[in-house]
Amino acid sequence: MLARQYLRENSEIVKEAIKNRNMGEGEVVVKLLQIDEKWRVMKAQCDDLRHERNKVSTLIGNLKSKGENEAAEKAIAQSSGLKVELEKLEENAKALEEELKKGLLELPNVPHESVPTGMDESDNVEIRRVGFENLREFPEDIVPHYDLGVRLDIIDEMRGAKTTGSGFYFLKGEGARLEHALISLMLDIHREQGYIELIPPIPVSSASMTGTGQFPKFVNDAYKIEGEDLWLCPTAEVPVTNMYSEEILLDEDLPIKHQAYTPNFRREAGEHGTETRGIVRVHQFNKVELVNFTRPDSSYEQLELLVNDAEEVLKKLQLPYRVISLCTGDLTFSSAKTYDIEIWTPIGNNEEKNDGRWLEVSSASNFEDFQARRAGLRYRPKRHESADYIHTLNASGLALPRVMVAILEYYQNADGTVEIPQVLRPYMGGLERIEGSDPIGESAVGAGLRN
């Protein structure tokens, strides 16, 4: 959330930020400033009335002490009138303050000056590519992960849709084992990088969702638990960021680095008609999340370190990827600056083979004090100084389904098996390749042998 003082003093910057985010011309800023001005005038009137009432109260005491009862009664009547007037004015001021707070919650963060200006993802800026100097030799015909998953009987979308609905799936056998191995690898890597592990609650409150910026903008994308003020966790960023809400941390505590593995639930599954097959866009997925709490003066240095921390997983897996800086029009609502890490697979979009495509597996963002103001996250620079808002950052380390997709397509062999990356083999009991298993049930009868 932007501070009121910042909005008053930098209204043109905020309007420009809204325009660059393709969220209008900033008319909402003018409206909020008008509400703020009314609130300040009304607040001053309330202060004047309180001061006047205090004077009258003092007068009443003096008059009574002098025995001037008639004059005291008139003063008492005046005080009662001032009280009624003050209560009405305070009620109106409170309503204006609530309207202002609601409006501020709907304002996006202001992009950092280093963020490229642009309309959409086509204006994002590539920072670097890694891992393309020694690409594997690929089979002539690479099978998409969704078809390969069926052939190897390791991904079962059909039964996932039957038990729950579209966008849900089963991982089976070596597929499930591969994802467990990835989770363990990520947790080990990030532990060595200094991250403290958490197992957070999965349901989160509306206040927590508001604290990180999911609400009110993305309320329709969340899964509600009926009859409760609880929502299924869309990302571990929500519970982990809010765990220190309304607390004051000490300077010596910072930076704090947490990692948390959770399942995540989101109604929104991407653009209509995009990656509708397979496990690229789904409603439930697993992820290891990295959350940093840091001092304001070092948060951008910490952002670069955070990107490096997430990249390390892909380097260990020897998967090719790139890092891009998101433009203003592609930034998330709460972010001041974001780097996306996109993994490359040799299968192109629209099932065009061997031309490759990019899959986002992590967004590393600096929210500055935007989330901290919403959630009440502060630190005390020195014991004798007043508390200030900390800066929060987070990144996926990484989103597991898309890493699974990349492994199944990038490490695919000509015989339909999948080479297991060297770094994962110790986590899979020394298994060197995924060979799959025979399908189960009458639906498999007559399907023939796997290649």
What residues of the chain score a pLDDT lower than 70?
Answer: 268-275, 349-354, 442-451
Query: Which is catalytic among the residues 21, 53, 177, 266?
Result: 266
Say how far residue 419 (Cα) sits from the centre of its chain. Answer: 33
Query: Which is catalytic among the residues 53, 177, 281, 374?
Result: 281
pLDDT of residue 451: 44
How far, in Å, CA of 416 to CA of 436, rounded?
A: 9
How far, in Å, CA of 374 to CA of 218, rounded?
A: 15
For 308-364, what is each residue's pLDDT tens digit? 999 999 999 999 999 999 999 999 999 999 999 999 999 976 544 447 999 999 999
Is 113 known to be catalytic? no
Query: Which is catalytic among the residues 90, 360, 419, 435?
Result: 360
Q: What single letter denotes the amino acid at residue 175?
A: G
Average pLDDT of the chain is 93
Query: Which is catalytic among the residues 362, 374, 402, 409?
Result: 402
Is 360 known to be catalytic? yes
Q: What is the pTM of this model?
A: 0.91
pLDDT of residue 275: 64
Query: Which is catalytic among the residues 299, 334, 363, 365?
Result: 363
Is 402 known to be catalytic? yes
pLDDT of residue 24: 92
Is 380 known to be catalytic? no
Is 295 known to be catalytic? no
